[in-house]
Amino acid sequence: MNQIGVGLLGFGTVGSGVFHALRSQEDVIFRRTGTSLKVRTVLVQNHEKKRIPDVRSILTTDFSDVLKTDIQVVVEAMGGVEPALTYVKQAMEMGLHIVTANKELVAKHGVELERTARRKGVQFLCEASVGGGIPVLGTLLHFLKSNRIYRISGILNGTTNYILSRMSDEGDSFEQVLEEARRQGYAEADPTADIDGFDAAYKLSILGRIAFEADVPVSNIRREGIRDVTALELNLARRLGYTIKLLAVGEQYGENGPITLGVEPTLLSITHPLASVHGIYNAIHLEGDVVQDLTLVGQGAGDLPTSSAILEDLCNLFVLSPPKRSLSREPLLLPEEQRGGVRFVCLEPSQTSEDLNANELRQRLQSIGLPVEDTVVSPEGGAAFIIHRWHPSFPSVLVAELGWDISRMTIRPVHGAKRVY
Amino acid sequence: MNQIGVGLLGFGTVGSGVFHALRSQEDVIFRRTGTSLKVRTVLVQNHEKKRIPDVRSILTTDFSDVLKTDIQVVVEAMGGVEPALTYVKQAMEMGLHIVTANKELVAKHGVELERTARRKGVQFLCEASVGGGIPVLGTLLHFLKSNRIYRISGILNGTTNYILSRMSDEGDSFEQVLEEARRQGYAEADPTADIDGFDAAYKLSILGRIAFEADVPVSNIRREGIRDVTALELNLARRLGYTIKLLAVGEQYGENGPITLGVEPTLLSITHPLASVHGIYNAIHLEGDVVQDLTLVGQGAGDLPTSSAILEDLCNLFVLSPPKRSLSREPLLLPEEQRGGVRFVCLEPSQTSEDLNANELRQRLQSIGLPVEDTVVSPEGGAAFIIHRWHPSFPSVLVAELGWDISRMTIRPVHGAKRVY
Ligand SMILES: NC(=O)c1ccc[n+]([C@@H]2O[C@H](COP(=O)([O-])OP(=O)(O)OC[C@H]3O[C@@H](n4cnc5c(N)ncnc54)[C@H](OP(=O)(O)O)[C@@H]3O)[C@@H](O)[C@H]2O)c1
Ligand SMILES: NC(=O)c1ccc[n+]([C@@H]2O[C@H](COP(=O)([O-])OP(=O)(O)OC[C@H]3O[C@@H](n4cnc5c(N)ncnc54)[C@H](OP(=O)(O)O)[C@@H]3O)[C@@H](O)[C@H]2O)c1
């Protein structure tokens, strides 16, 4: 029998989930892998917190205790950059494998950690850091090796997806739904990382690194949160056949060509595979030159789904060899003024006259040379339209020609149709 | 450089797709795997058919020529049981690995072929045989090892999904849509394998073997095709909040417990992740005790998606070790009379009086002791209702108490809500 000792850093939602799942799945894992995974030590911060009896005897608050135990793998489920970074590096230097759920750590220091792992001949696996239980990193690494991936689009944050789903279904405002989500435990006390798109940007950075074999720092990802998405927008978008999601999109224009990565509220046609992903679910739509398209949907957080990803990484440590991928390529970023595509423009009620109709609006916009197709006017005031072949000069045209106030207009990308590599 | 010689059996949709994709992806595959895959010989049936120039010099109609070439892998893309079975066995006996897209072969002889592969120390991979480009077998084998899978539900046949989607969207009859699908090339000249559910049953048998580690022959799979699904049913189901799909479902009741596998037209709540899978797409919904649920959606057929699965199998031949799974377990099948759950009953117009209303219908059904919840009546005649806690005696109750004609009634399963392992 192959016994593998595990050192567990953190015993919160994820850490305790892993601890319990390793027990409940012990027989299954042994039967299928011939391996027995044993948690030998657990690191926490606060020795005074009440814990379940089984874990008390192996608890420590001193990381050096973890390194003294007979372990082959460290599972990092603490979160944050420090001290996680220091601990993970020390463990790898001692020849230990790493499995982590920490998206911030992987997004900010993944390249450096991956390099250390290669130098030391250990594995650094992080499936749980993106999409909870969804095996998207594994799919990209092992089942799309022969594909050139040209676009990844994802709903990567459950909290914001839940909020937008509720706003859309119930017509409530952002603040109302956020308050309710907090009460029901779907949103953190400090929801900034979710609401403002940081969490999704971390995950997109990790996905982009694997899919495009390119190192795009989080600071190079366009990022806009959902704070100012309005019920009016959601309503008018729906009447035009779209839903609005906080979408993370990475695209590459040609092999080794420029890349663009962004997280922002985005219109999706209601027929798009991601449009029906509601509530706390996460989903990733992958487009590659041979497979065409592939969508993975699952629970993006929670103790069980996240533990599943960690257990699977543990089972695969000694089985799957990581494919050869470049770590250092610094990609060209597509200049903002070259981002064409389709946009949705929504006007606040103050900008529209009472007797405006959709036809008239379209004609007026077309008459000043804008490639406008669909227009919709709200009975309560406000209007929206879709502009094709977007150009960054369009907003100033709207202001100059129609006298609209730029601060009373929202402009959002519309997720494009399929594109051939 | 690691050169791997490939013998290709078949040069139809899939075979020629693989031939071209191995060229277009040559550089990507080499960069990521260090391997160069070369097709050294191609077996076809008809030497007179016109073929592209590049393949002519390596074409043969004699299988023994294939075995004489310097190859390490045989890709089987001919279809049918014989001579594919004989060829694949011979190749394995000579120490060659096998990659196949042939669901009929794998469903009917997979266990025996897998045994030969183990005995000879070669790999037998068949990702392309289920769900085209969707890496569902790989996901089950490599990313759900630590999970007990308790249910698999899939839309596994694009032709029938296309037909049902069109019937539902347009209100057309089965025959009308089938005729159109044939004209547009979405249905084969002889569509029996698709329409009557054989194709989906082959795929379900392969999925069930991996997920439940149990050998369920295709003949033990309940199977009903879509020939008698009516526009009335689709309409009434939709008014009750459901869509009808040709669903392949495998369930296991408790670890090592009884299993049930079936392919039949099934109602899905419109909020189910599979309900929005339209047209030629395939999708598989996996439920496991740790991951909770995972849905994979993609193109289930076509030269490119299918080639993607074959190329990925080829790339993984020397990298992924197959996990240990029992091949011989013959599972208990759940007796039909123990299949409870929820059913949809649809009555033809001849069975309902003109002034019947939904409320009255529900009361009448409840008064004879049936656990009926939702009822709907069509203005054009005909009615439908949902029965909970189904019992096989219910149809005879309906006949005896209400005088309905059993041949003018359709009874379909309603796909259940989530169940905890
Ligand atoms: N929650 C999810 O659903 C989910 C899903 C995917 C990924 N993740 C990621 O998984 C990681 C953990 O998340 P979580 O939700 O489990 O967090 P959590 O519930 O807050 O738990 C954090 C754990 O780490 C320990 N810890 C924190 N700082 C420490 C330090 N400096 N030294 C020692 N121990 C320390 C805490 O100790 P005490 O118990 O003593 O406070 C606690 O046990 C994060 O990176 C998160 O982004 C979470
Ligand atoms: N088509 C899809 O989208 C798809 C998707 C997934 C899986 N599959 C599976 O892939 C397999 C191939 O499908 P396909 O659509 O590519 O079929 P196809 O277009 O009919 O091609 C079959 C090929 O096999 C050759 N062949 C047939 N019988 C032969 C024999 N006895 N000896 C030598 N060569 C023989 C044919 O030779 P000639 O060229 O001389 O006629 C032809 O080149 C089937 O098992 C199918 O179920 C297909």
- In order along its 421 residues, chain B shows pLDDT tens digits of 699 999 999 999 999 999 999 999 999 999 999 999 999 999 999 989 999 989 999 999 999 999 999 999 999 999 999 999 999 999 999 999 999 999 999 999 999 999 999 999 999 999 999 999 999 999 999 999 999 999 999 999 999 999 999 999 999 999 999 999 888 887 888 899 999 999 999 999 999 999 999 888 999 999 999 999 999 999 999 999 999 999 999 999 988 889 999 999 999 999 899 999 988 899 999 999 999 999 999 999 999 999 999 999 999 998 887 777 777 677 888 887 778 889 999 999 988 887 889 999 999 999 999 999 899 999 889 999 999 999 999 999 999 988 889 999 999 999 975 433 2
Which residue, among A169, A268, A291, A313, would best test binding to B if mutated, counting the most B CBs under 10 Å from its CB?
Answer: A291
Q: Are residues B206 and B173 in the same domain?
A: yes
Q: Are residues A112 and A140 in the same domain?
A: no
Look up the ipTM and state it.
Answer: 0.95
Residue B350 CB neighbours (<10 A): 10
CA B249 to CA B155: how far, in whole Å?
A: 9
Residue A316 lies in a domain: no
Residue A253 lies in a domain: yes
Asked if B304 is an interface residue toward chain A (Cβ–Cβ < 8 A), one would say: yes
Note the Cα B294 to chain centre separation in Å. 16
H-only helix segments in B249-323: 303-316
Domain boundary among the residues B125, B158, B183 is at B125
pLDDT band at A420 (very low <50, low <70, confident <90, very high): very low
| Domains identified in chain A, total number | 3
Q: Are residues B52 and B172 in the same domain?
A: no
Which residue, among B143, B295, B329, would best test binding to A if mutated, counting the most A CBs under 10 Å from its CB?
Answer: B143
- The identity of residue A32, as a single letter, is R
Domain housing B11: 2-125
CA B138 to CA B131: how far, in whole Å?
A: 12
Asked if A131 is an interface residue toward chain B (Cβ–Cβ < 8 A), one would say: no
Residue A63 lies in a domain: yes
The minimal CB distance from B290 to the residues A34, A144, A308 is found for A308
Which pair of tokens denotes residue A396? 């100033």
To 5 degrees, how large is the angle CA A256–CA A414–CA B301? 65
pLDDT above 60: residue A421: no
Those of residues 147-166 in A touching chain B at CB distance below 8 A are 147-148
Q: Are residues B328 and B406 in the same domain?
A: no
Q: Are residues B149 and B99 in the same domain?
A: no
Closest CA to B408 of B368, B350, B342: B350
Ligand with smallest separation from the Cα of A86: 1
pLDDT of B421: 27
Asked if A299 is an interface residue toward chain B (Cβ–Cβ < 8 A), one would say: yes
Closest CA to B384 of B334, B416, B343, B328: B343
Residue B3 CB neighbours (<10 A): 11
What distance in Å separates residue A12's CA from the closest CA in chain B?
17
Q: Are residues A260 and A367 in the same domain?
A: no
Residue in chain A lying closest to B148 (CA): A28
Q: Are residues A231 and A331 in the same domain?
A: yes
Least confident segment among A73-77, A190-194, A242-246: A190-194
- Contacts across the A-B interface (CB distance below 8 Å): 186
Domain boundary among the residues A289, A312, A335 is at A335
Non-local (6+) Cβ contacts of B289 within 8 A are A24, A25, B147, B148, B150, B421
Domain boundary among the residues A80, A101, A125 is at A125
pLDDT above 60: residue A205: yes
Of B8, B9, B13, B310, the residue with max ligand 2 atoms within 8 A of its CB, to mutate for a pocket test, comes to B13
Asked if A138 is an interface residue toward chain B (Cβ–Cβ < 8 A), one would say: yes
CA A118 to CA B203: how far, in whole Å?
A: 39
User: How remote is the CA of residue A10 from the centroid of ligand 1, in Å?
Assistant: 5
pLDDT above 60: residue A106: yes
The 3-state secondary structure of chain A, one letter per residue: CEEEEEEEECCCHHHHHHHHHHHHCHHHHHHHHCEEEEEEEEECCCCCCCCCHHHHCCEECCHHHHHHCCCCEEEECCCCCCCHHHHHHHHHHCCCEEEECCHHHHHHHHHHHHHHHHHHCCCEECHHHCCCCCCHHHHHHHHCCCCCEEEEEEECCHHHHHHHHHHHHHCCCHHHHHHHHHHCCCCCCCCHHHHCCHHHHHHHHHHHHHHCCCCCCHHHCEECCCCCCCHHHHHHHHHCCEEEEEEEEEEECCCCCCEEEEEEEEEEECCCCCCCCCCCEEEEEEEECCCEEEEEEEECCCHHHHHHHHHHHHHHCCCCCCCCCCCCCCCCECCHHHCCCEEEEEECHHHCCCCCCHHHHHHHHHHCCCCEEEEEECCCCCEEEEECCCCCCHHHHHHHHHCCCHHHEEEEEECCCCCCC
Q: Are residues A47 and A195 in the same domain?
A: no
Which pair of tokens denotes residue B72? 């390490």
Q: Match 């985005």 to its residue by tokens.
A: A266
The CATH number of residue B92's host domain is: 3.40.50.720
pLDDT band at A1 (very low <50, low <70, confident <90, very high): low
pLDDT of A417: 57
Whether the Cβ atoms of residue B150 and residue B289 lie closer than 8 Å to each other: yes
Non-local (6+) Cβ contacts of A175 within 8 A are none
Q: Are residues B267 and B286 in the same domain?
A: yes
pLDDT of A419: 36
User: How remote is the CA of residue B43 from the centroid of ligand 2, in Å?
Assistant: 11
Question: Which residues in chain A touch residue B211, judged by CB atoms under 8 angstroms apart?
Answer: none
What average pLDDT does the segment A71-77 reach? 98
Residue A245 lies in a domain: yes
pTM, rounded to two decimals: 0.96
Non-local (6+) Cβ contacts of A112 within 8 A are none
pLDDT of B354: 79
Residue A309 lies in a domain: no
Q: Match 């799974």 to its residue by tokens.
A: B325
Q: Are residues A269 and A382 in the same domain?
A: no
The CATH number of residue B408's host domain is: 3.30.70.260
Residue B87 lies in a domain: yes
CA A190 to CA B298: how far, in whole Å?
A: 37
To 5 degrees, how large is the angle CA B128–CA B133–CA B139? 80
Residue A368 lies in a domain: yes
What distance in Å separates residue B266's CA from the closest CA in chain A?
20
- Give B30: exposed, middle or buried? Use CB within 10 Å, 0-12, 13-18, 19+: middle
Q: Are residues B166 and B54 in the same domain?
A: no
CA A189 to CA A200: how far, in whole Å?
A: 18
pLDDT above 90: residue A351: no
Closest CA to A249 of A257, A259, A261, A258: A261
| Of B159 and A351, the one with more pLDDT | B159
Whether the Cβ atoms of residue A288 and residue A251 lie closer than 8 Å to each other: no
pLDDT of B330: 79
User: How remote is the CA of residue A79 from the centroid of ligand 1, in Å?
Assistant: 5
Q: Are residues B77 and B163 in the same domain?
A: no
Those of residues 75-104 in A touching chain B at CB distance below 8 A are none
Q: Match 């193109």 to its residue by tokens.
A: B299
Residue A93 lies in a domain: yes
